[in-house]
Amino acid sequence: MVAEEVNVNMDINQIAQMAGVSRATVSRYLNDGYVSQEKRAAIRRVIEKTGYVPSRQAKSLRTGKTNVVGVIIPKINSASVSRMIAGITMVLNEAGYQVILANTDNDASREVEFLRLFAEKSQVDGVILIATVITPEHREAISALPVPIVVLGQETDCCACVYQDDYNAMHDLASIALRDVHHPAYIGVFEDDVAVGQMRRKGFLAACAEAGIEVPERAMRIADFTVDSGYEQAEALLENYPELDVIVCATDSIAYGALTCLREYGHVVPDEVAVTGMDDSEISQIVTPTLTTVHLHYKTSGAETARMLVGFMTGEESVPRKVKMSCEVVARNSTR
């Protein structure tokens, strides 16, 4: 009815006509080019009246920029990943980018698939890869990428990255956990994951060496990232290494499983067996006993990753190529 009515099907030509200028001038108005005060005012009036919004796809077609960032994640319903995404979306939306999500469900080959998909015809202006492993296929796909990428969660030389200080985190935690202890056990994850699998394990072993403790093979076990798997491996430890007096776990989830197992087998934590995790998931303050762990700044690391990527995409000078996050050991009641 009214002229105020918002018409979605308005284009730059109509705006130009209504404002009495050329379409080039409207485009300049939209992109901060030379436009006189009078025309500027006239165009603003028309745009406000009509509710005109420029077409993203036309703009993308012409400029080759999409204002979209692709985020590849192994699994969305994981505490650490969702915290990272929270940080990523916060920064990226703030900077005017849209975030498209590619969930691979822990399938590394689909990660490569998505990398290639994003590479094609510049679907996105940049990529964030929350990585668990980096295979040669990953490297290849990454170097073929025509847009900037930042890897989150693993240290790598094949591109920019933001990662946790897994070695020191575990080293410092283990140093504390090893006090008054003689038979430590460790439940880690598969070594393909360099950060969580290798670095944390090395940190643990280094702390043991410093404490003058030799760790037998049967005290070292491998779980996956689940609670159930933590339970199973703890059970196996009780069987094969009954003298253990602390179980150091690579993640909080594994530690929850270990706690549950110890409870069911009637061992008192921490008096008989201490337990530690890593991640400081929200639940760690809730389980019984509360879990000694390391707080990793996941949300902040996501934000930092996004900031770096924005830096690359906007061609900023002096964007760091590697960021190692800090962390804090949180001593609670599952250790002595």
In angstroms, how far is CA 206 from the centroid of its own chain?
27
Which of these, 230, 335, 228, lies nearest to 291 by C-alpha position? 335
Q: Choose the contact partner of 100 out of DNA, a second copy, none; CB within 5 to 8 A by kind.
A: a second copy
Assess 94 for contact with a second copy (CB under 8 A): no
Q: Choose the contact partner of 30 out of a second copy, DNA, none; CB within 5 to 8 A by kind.
A: DNA
Q: Choose the contact partner of 192 out of a second copy, DNA, none; CB within 5 to 8 A by kind.
A: none
| Interface with a second copy: number of residues (CB under 8 A) | 48
> What do you get for the CA distance between the two ends of the chain, in Å?
75
Q: Site map for a second copy, 278-317, x if CB under 8 A?
A: ----xx-xxxx----------x------------------
How far from 44 is each of 7, 12, 31, 331, CA to CA, in Å?
16, 13, 13, 59
Which of these, 226, 233, 154, lies nearest to 196 by C-alpha position? 154
* Segment (H or E) for 173: helix 166-177
Q: Choose the contact partner of 283 out of DNA, a second copy, none; CB within 5 to 8 A by kind.
A: a second copy
Q: Choose the contact partner of 209 out of a second copy, DNA, none; CB within 5 to 8 A by kind.
A: none
d(CA 23, CA 41): 15
Nearer to a second copy by C-beta: 10 or 43? 10
**Looking at 16-24, 117-125, 214-222, 328-336, which segment touches a second copy (CB under 8 A)?**
117-125
Nearer to DNA by C-beta: 59 or 299? 59
- Beta strand 149-152 with 160-164 is parallel
Q: Interface residues with DNA (CB under 7 A)?
A: 9, 11-13, 20-28, 30-31, 33-39, 52-55, 58-59, 61-63, 121
- Residues 300, 325 contacting (CB under 8 angstroms): yes
Assess 37 for contact with a second copy (CB under 8 A): no
Q: In the complex, what is the shortest distance from the CB of residue 68 to a second copy, in angstroms, rounded to a whole number?
A: 7
Q: Choose the contact partner of 22 out of a second copy, DNA, none; CB within 5 to 8 A by kind.
A: DNA
Interface residue with a second copy among 146, 216, 218, 321 (CB under 8 A) is: 146
Beta strand segments in the chain, E: 68-73, 98-103, 126-130, 149-152, 160-164, 184-189, 220-223, 246-249, 274-276, 293-296, 322-325, 327-330
- Footprint on residues 202-231 left by a second copy (CB under 8 A): 227
Assess 95 for contact with a second copy (CB under 8 A): no
